[in-house]
Structure 1
Amino acid sequence: MSLPVVEVICAPATEAFRANPRSLPLVAPTFDILKKVDGQIRSYYGLQHEDNSLAYTLVAWESLGHHHELMMDEVTYPPLVDAIQKVIDPFKLKMFHCAFTSEPYRALEAPVTELATFTLNAGQSKDALEGLVDDLSKALNAAPRESGVVSSAWGPTIEFENIVALFIGWTSLEAHLNFVGTDQTTANLVNNLRNISTIDVVHIQLSCYP
């Protein structure tokens, strides 16, 4: 099976979703529509830890084309836009698609998912950036189980040639913070990445829609 393209949306959360981000009745109208769409594999939703006024929805697609076909569907897409307004403000969203280089689901279904984006600095090499992110992801996946790393996966973003996204599943936020302070291999890789890119990190507690 080919690797998925994952649509990542960040948008202001509704008051109802902030109050109960794991409410199936609240999100069901949105994700029941998505489940019936050709090419949709899995969907996720949750609040950002650092700023719980922001919600994330992630949809794994067989291809970018499948998502584009949905957006052009005059029968299915308008009800989807209406339904998702119970969860987020779709008129203030930010979106990108990540073309994963390995299976991402364990990272997305961990208790906490770290989303790190690396924006290449001017004059730096995209190949070098992708190589370092790949090395970091491999180092995380090789970490011992007690480190708290569940899984790591990365990919370039389709819309932005200079941005790479890395998703890391952790057993807890505390596990991530402890790991950062103790693992020298990943610390060195992150320092090298800081030399050529701007790094942004958020944490999300994602739920997978059944």
Structure 2
Amino acid sequence: MSETVVEIVNWLASEAFKSDPSILHPALKQVAAAKGASKIWYGLQHEDQSTVFVVIVWASLADHKLFIDDKAPYAELLAKLTPTLDASAGAIEFYHVAFKPNPIPEAHFNCPINEFGILTLKEGKTNAEIEELVWNPEFNDGGKVFDIGKIIERDNQYVLTKGWESVEAHHAARAYRSEQLSQFVTAAREIITPAVCHVKLTMFKS
């Protein structure tokens, strides 16, 4: 089993970041140089045009923990991030996802727009119920439809990611669901409550 995890980070963007997203690059360059860090994407949420998303692939959760525990460089990273944060923003939120079937859903992240869905188990529902549904290889065909992973830090939440040509294409697709997909969505909504947003991700190249 792969130890690869995908870290998803978000925070409320400053006006400076909205005007010039490249002010985030010094921080991303530092992360990219860390042991175990590989691919990085970043972008702004489509719906509110205010929430920054950063997606970082780590070879293992242990590699990211070592990076955080190195106090002086980590403090330097936080200082580099400060200009990108809205003054009223709360804490930076981050969590790690173990995606399946593709540990790195690169094909989705590289699409013009990416759908992120936080899937929260309904009361009384179990991890086994949702995992049996979403990781069914007969339906998802190796992650071509979407990739889903459990949030490591949260027992009751998963992340779905799917690439689209546009937000409009996603909305239009809802009207043309196959019978199989409609059955899947109906079954999933019996188990989870979804919260969906879209992000235009750009791969960071240091």
| TM-score, normalised via structure 1 length | 0.87
Residue 4, structure 1, aligned to residue 4, structure 2: yes
For 1:40 and 1:104, locate their aligned partners in 2 and report how far apart those are by CA, in whole Å: 15
Shift of 1:112: 0.4
- Give the gaps of 5 or more residues in structure 1: 143-150
Residue 133, structure 1, aligned to residue 134, structure 2: yes
- Give the gaps of 5 or more residues in structure 2: none
Give the conservation status (yes or no) of the 8 Å contact 1:139–1:186. Answer: no
For 1:140 and 1:46, locate their aligned partners in 2 and report how far apart those are by CA, in whole Å: 26
**Deviation readout 1:93-131 (Å, 9 max, x if unpaired):** 222110112131111111100001111111112111112
Give the conservation status (yes or no) of the 8 Å contact 1:112–1:172. Answer: yes
With over 3 angstroms needed to count, the CA separation of the structure-2 counterparts of 1:166 and 1:33, relative to structure 1, is same
Residue 189, structure 1, aligned to residue 189, structure 2: no
Corresponding position of 2:148: 154
RMSD of aligned residue pairs (Cα, Å):
2.1
Give the conservation status (yes or no) of the 8 Å contact 2:121–2:193. Answer: yes
**Deviation readout 1:144-201 (Å, 9 max, x if unpaired):** xxxxxxx621111101111111110111111111111101322221121111111110
Match of 1:79 among 76, 79, 94: 76
Corresponding position of 1:112: 113
Residue 19, structure 1, aligned to residue 19, structure 2: yes
Residue 209, structure 1, aligned to residue 204, structure 2: yes
Match of 1:171 among 165, 169, 186: 165
Give the conservation status (yes or no) of the 8 Å contact 2:43–2:200. Answer: yes
Partner AA of 1:198 in structure 2? T
Q: Secondary structure at the match of 2:83?
A: coil
| TM-score, normalised via structure 2 length | 0.88
For 1:74 and 1:94, locate their aligned partners in 2 and report how far apart those are by CA, in whole Å: 18
Count of paired positions:
199
